Structure formats: C-alpha cells, structure tokens
C-alpha cells in the first residue's frame, strides 16, 4: 500500500499540496503513507520548519502521524520546549541560559515541563490553523476544527473545536466506530482500497466489514 518513498506532489500542477512523507528528514517525525498537507501561504515542503515548532533534539520527543490524514494550511504542532516549567516559583527559563547563571548545561531541559510525544492516528482531518500541543493523542478518524487548540486527547471519530478544543459530537454511532476501528481499512493494500473506495465514500460499513472478513479468512 506504499507510495514511492520520495513522491511529494500527488496532483499534477499543484505545488501547494504534498505527501508529507516525501519531505520529512527528522528521524523524530514519522508520517504514514498518503498523509497530505496543503499550504497556500508558505512552501508546504517546509513543514518541518514552519509547522513543527519547539521540536528540539535535546528532548527526543516525537511526532507520529498515521496514514491517510489531511492537514490543512497553517496547522501547528507545539512541542515540549514551548513550555515553561510550572514546578518552579518562577516561569523564567533559567536552565536555558546556563552560561549566564553558571548552571549545569546538562540540566537545560529543566526549563520546561515535558508532557510527551504527539500521536495522531489514521484518517484524521486537522483543520486550518489548528494547534496541537505536546502530549496529545488524537484517535483514528477524528476531526480537529479550524483554529482549535488541542490540549487533551481526542477519542477516535470525534469532532472537536474551540479554545481549548472540546468535543462537538461523534461522527458515527458507536457500533459503526467500533467496526471501523476493527476493520482498519487504512492498513489494506492499495489495490483493495482502490476496489472499495465507493463503499468507503458512501459509508457502506457492511461492505467494508464483508471485505475485512474475507481477507481474514484467506490469511
């Protein structure tokens, strides 16, 4: 189901939309196949520089984005080094300026609170200029509204919006969500997905379930 390792532009004549996997060089950023980013303001190939912020190597924190995600222009991922520690009596990042204050360089990361990695599931839509903060996990099939600020985990197939982002509604009934999470069509071979795009787009969960059962029976 893979795409060519360095394929960048999926549409002829469109330089604003890219497959992210083809432009990522940072080993701490992992992007799934067919996940795309659109940017009509800046060069989308500069995603690492313009959209993944405060992602300093000293923290070893990771950005993981699954397959078939859609990321709109200006979406940002803010990592741990954007934080200032709240365990100190001051939010001033003294350890960051270790030379000025004669502190140990190895303690520089004490200047901020480390909340962990950012994990984005599969088939997630992140809206225009949305912001996802460190430590957040977004489940498969979720939708992040325009300019939402995501500070907490988002369950699968849930629409969230606002500042801070809060649940708006579930996309489907629970039985459909459970079926989709079991089927995991995004892991199918490309050919199988192509054969069933009609069922995926029309929401025919019964067809997808049948294809999934047939696949398991032949394994």
Q: Is the peptide bond before 33 cis (omega within 30 degrees of 0)?
A: no
| Residues 92 and 110: beta-carbon distance below 8 Å | no
Q: Looking at residue 141, what is its pLDDT? A: 98
The answer to whether residue 5 is domain-embedded is no
Q: Is the dihedral of CA 184, 189, 192, 196 positive or negative?
A: positive
The reply to whether 153 and 177 lie within a common domain is no
pLDDT of residue 1: 47
H and E: helices and strands count for the chain = 6, 15
The last residue of a domain, from among 132, 156, 171 = 171
Domain shared by 69 and 109, yes or no: yes
Q: What is the pLDDT of residues 52-87, one digit of tens each?
A: 999 999 999 999 999 999 999 999 999 999 999 998
| CA–CA distance, 177 with 121 (Å, rounded to integer) | 14
Q: What is the mean pLDDT of the chain?
A: 94
Q: Which of 55, 60, 84, 206 is catalytic?
A: 84
142/215 same-domain check: no
Query: Does any domain span residue 2?
Result: no
CATH number assigned to the domain comprising residue 89: 2.160.10.10
Give the range of the structural domain holding residue 54, as residue numbers without chain letter.
17-171
Show the DSSP H helices in the chain as ranges: 47-50, 98-101, 174-183, 190-195, 197-202, 205-218
Residue 60 appears among annotated catalytic residues: no
Give how many domains the chain has, as a whole number.
2
Q: Same domain for 130 and 147?
A: yes
Query: Whole-model pTM?
Result: 0.92
The answer to whether residues 28 and 127 belong to one domain is yes
Same domain, yes or no: 156 and 200? no
One domain for residues 50 and 143: yes
Instruction: Verify that 51 and 154 share a domain, yes or no.
Output: yes
Highest mean pLDDT among 10-14, 102-106, 123-127: 123-127
Residues 6+ apart with CB under 8 A from 104: 98
Is the same domain home to 208 and 160?
A: no
Alpha helices in 73-145 (DSSP H): 98-101
Beta bridge partners of 150: 132
43, 88: one domain: yes
110 & 30 share domain: yes
Q: What is the mean pLDDT of residues 137-157?
A: 98
Lookup result for tokens 């929401």? 203
Task: Mark whether 71 and 143 lie in a shared domain.
Answer: yes
Return d(Cα 160, Cα 144) in angstroms, integer: 5
């Amino acid at each position: 189901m893979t795409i060519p390792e360095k394929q960048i532009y999926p549409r002829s004549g469109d330089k604003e939309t890219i497959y992210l996997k083809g432009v990522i060089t940072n080993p701490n950023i992992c992007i799934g196949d067919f996940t795309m980013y659109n940017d009509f303001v800046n060069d989308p190939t500069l995603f690492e520089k313009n959209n993944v912020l405060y992602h300093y190597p000293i923290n070893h924190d990771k950005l993981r984005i699954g397959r078939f995600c859609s990321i709109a222009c200006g979406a940002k991922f803010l990592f741990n080094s954007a934080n200032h520690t709240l365990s100190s009596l001051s939010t001033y990042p003294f350890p960051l300026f270790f030379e000025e204050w004669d502190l140990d360089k190895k303690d520089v990361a004490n200047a901020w609170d480390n909340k962990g990695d950012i994990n984005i599931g599969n088939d997630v839509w992140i809206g225009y200029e949305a912001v996802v903060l460190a430590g957040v996990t977004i489940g498969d099939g979720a939708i992040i509204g325009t300019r939402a600020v995501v500070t907490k985990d988002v369950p699968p197939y849930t629409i969230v919006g606002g500042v801070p982002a809060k649940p708006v509604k579930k996309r489907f009934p629970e039985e459909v969500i459970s079926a989709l999470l079991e089927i995991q069509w995004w892991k199918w071979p490309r050919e199988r997905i192509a054969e069933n795009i009609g069922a995926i787009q029309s929401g025919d969960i019964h067809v997808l379930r049948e294809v999934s059962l047939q696949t398991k029976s032949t394994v």
